[in-house]
Structure 1
């Protein structure tokens, strides 16, 4: 005999919030039964069926693609095509989230949307072309969150990204810009000269 539990107990069992369960109900992903008083009740057996790290039918497969600047839009389209073809070959229906911005930027709109989906339990599988498409540094923290939320992570290419040097140089320039803004208030000619020299060195390295 199936055991029916409240929405709060079901949310705890799935590792999501009660608001997420309400959204799933509204979208038809997970429909509870109702008591005579209109209270939601969830079948415990149905909630726990299936392998631990599988992406349940009510959780999405999300592909994430990113490039650092408008100059790399062609590479963004290539990433999207690779992700779409791979997911199709696996029989997965995938939502694609894209970002345009540095791998050092943790406030990108697409990344925030992805993290919100993981935290809310809406994402069951994350697909990337390379690990550093997610973040240049700190991707392991996102993967740790995926493990806690039982999100399967699929990385198509575990080797080095072909644009690693170019993007790393771009990230270094961004760091220099941030420090330049902080040091500008001191009006130090020596500081400005040092920063300009670092910018020149990074740009020269991109041309070699």
Structure 2
């Protein structure tokens, strides 16, 4: 009886996981490829793959979908992100939880992000799903991805391109920094410094029109 050998992408789709998960299972000795091509590509025997064989071992680790916007004016965008994440995860057949934050992408001071990082470090998360890389952090997302890799957390980014609202979101993050510095400097620095901060804030406001 001839075997039907498929690529890692087809095998992952059949099992309801990502190709990255199959590579991890290979490293762990859970599921080895049946063959490799001359070029080193993995090939799996479709008849040998049993989804129920692997789901039980992965069940203890959760799938978390993370959404974030920078300001309360973007609540509609936050809902859109959550809907996209929910639809994608549901289509994959994953049991998942959505964590949402409303706050700047410039820092780690967000309840949802802290809860997400704690769960990852504690080994409770098996998969992280986001719409764009910058939804985690404006700067420092690579550090979170490094933690995920160390903890063997699969990261799924739905859109690898630039966000349509990138400039607006970045402007709001910069505006928050200016506001914080203005509050700290007000009354303790010269009027010239305060005027400079006011001018920068005005320029950021105008860039959003």
Moved over 4 A (4+): none
Structure 2 runs not aligned, ≥5 long: 1-27, 33-54
Structure 1 CA distance, aligned partners of 2:72 and 2:176? 15
Superimposed CA distance per residue, residues 137-172 of structure 1 (whole angstroms, 9 cap, x where no aligned partner): 110000000000000000000001111111111111
1:30-109 correspondence runs (5 A): 50=30, 56-109=58-111
Structure 1 runs not aligned, ≥5 long: 1-47
2:150 alignment partner in structure 1: 148
How far 1:177 sits from its partner (Å)?
A: 1.7
Task: Give the TM-score normalised by structure 1.
Answer: 0.72
2:203 alignment partner in structure 1: 201
1:165 alignment partner in structure 2: 167
Kindly tell me: are residues 203 and 128 of structure 1, through their superposed partners in 2, closer, same or farther at Cα, counting changes over 3 Å? same
Task: Give the TM-score normalised by structure 2.
Answer: 0.72
Kindly tell me: are residues 88 and 49 of structure 1, through their superposed partners in 2, closer, same or farther at Cα, counting changes over 3 Å? farther
Structure 1 CA distance, aligned partners of 2:111 and 2:160? 25
SS at match of 2:155: strand
Structure 2 CA distance, aligned partners of 1:51 and 1:79? 34
Query: Which region of structure 1 is more displaced relative to structure 2, 89-98 or 55-64?
Result: 55-64
1:120 alignment partner in structure 2: 122
SS at match of 2:101: strand
SS at match of 1:144: helix
1:192 alignment partner in structure 2: 194
